[in-house]
Chain A
Amino acid sequence: MTNTKKRKVTGRARSEFLWGWLFILPTMIGLVILNIIPIFQTLYQSFFKTGDFGRGNVFVGLDNYAQVFGDKEVWQSLINTFKYAIVEVPFSIIIALILAVLLNRKMRGRGFYRTIIFLPMVAAPAAIAMVWRWLYNSDFGLINNVFPIQVKWVSDPQIAVFSVAVIGIWSIIGYNMVLFIAGLQEIPHDFYEAAEIDGATGVKSFFYITIPLLSPTIFFVLVTRIISALQVFDLMYMVMDKSNPALEKTQSLVYLFYKYAFINKNMGYGSTIVILLLVITLIITAFQMIGQKKWVFYN
Chain B
Amino acid sequence: MSSSSDSPILTTPLNALHRKLGAKMVPFAGYDMPVQYPLGVLKEHLHTREKAGLFDVSHMGQVILRGDGVVDALEKLVPGELRALKQGRIRYSFFTNDQGGILDDLMIANRGDHLFLVVNAACKVPDIAHLTAGLPGVEIEYLGDDRGLLALQGPVAATVLARFIPDVATMPFMSMVSADLKGIPVTIARSGYTGEDGYEIGINADRTEDVARLLLAEPEVAAIGLGARDSLRLEAGLCLYGHDIDTTTTPVEAGLTWAISKRRREEGGYPGDAIVRRQLAEGATRYRVGIQPEGRAPAREHTEIQDAAGQTVGEVTSGGFGPSANAPVAMGYVTAANAAVGTSLSLVVRGKPLPAKVASLPFVPQRYYRG
A and B: partners? no
**Which A residues are closer than 8 A to B by beta carbons?**
none
B residues lining the A interface (CB < 8 Å): none
